[in-house]
Amino acid sequence: MKVFRWPVVIGVGAAVAAVGLVAGYWDPVDHAAVDSRHAAARIELQADDVEGRVHGVAELEQVIKQSPDDQPVVITELAGFLRTVTDAKNCQPVGRDVQAALTVLARRMAGSDRGTALDLHATCLRNADMTDISLVQANLTGANLSGANLTRAILDGADLRGANLSGANLRDAHVVAANLTSANLDGAHTEGLHVG
């Protein structure tokens, strides 16, 4: 006569499921909701009015808070936005939408970038507040950062060839292994600057 031990099988199955949850197989992110929010934010980022663009930036920040896995894509989109709406050749002090995007980039958890380097070449970031921003390995060639507040910014490995950093606040910033060839540092505040 065969004896079936169903309680044992069920108990083992439940234990395996519990281990799976603990190991991270259970995904708490509502991806459909995040994707919908992300799509709407991208549309707002192209709005004609500054209020719409500022709201789009705020929504993108919520996307990376809800789904850190989406951060590399979102920061790439924000960098693209900054390249689109600014121009180093016709540089004016940054508007609220540009500052909002920079603030999101400064507040992000850089560890979730997964090695994504920001492309901000030829952007106009004049007088922008970029305190504590992480721009590791960023492409800032030809960018206008004159008068920008880069206090404690991390620019390690960044490409700053031909960048305008005149009058910028670089106090306690990190520029280890950064390429500063032909960069304009006239009048920049470099107290506590880490170069190696």
Q: Is residue 167 part of a domain?
A: yes
Q: Is residue 23 part of a domain?
A: no
Identify the three-state secondary structure at position 196.
coil
**Model confidence, pTM:** 0.85
**Which CA distances in Å does 100 have to 95, 132, 185, 189?**
9, 14, 25, 24
Identity (one letter) of the amino acid at 2?
K
Residue 60 belongs to what domain range? 34-196
**Which CA distances in Å does 123 have to 17, 20, 41, 93?**
50, 46, 22, 12
Cβ(146)–Cβ(124) under 8 Å?
no
Summarised one tens digit per residue, pLDDT across range 27-42 is 788 989 999 999 999 9
Cα separation, 140 vs 123, whole angstroms: 8
CATH number of the domain residue 75 falls in: 2.160.20.80
Summarised one tens digit per residue, pLDDT across range 12-27 is 444 444 444 444 566 7
Summarised one tens digit per residue, pLDDT across range 58-82 is 999 999 999 999 999 999 999 999 9
At 6, the pLDDT band (50, 70, 90 cuts) reads very low
Alpha helices (H) in the chain, listed in sequence order: 6-22, 31-44, 50-66, 71-85, 96-107
Q: Is residue 18 part of a domain?
A: no
Q: Is residue 24 part of a domain?
A: no
Cα separation, 20 vs 25, whole angstroms: 5
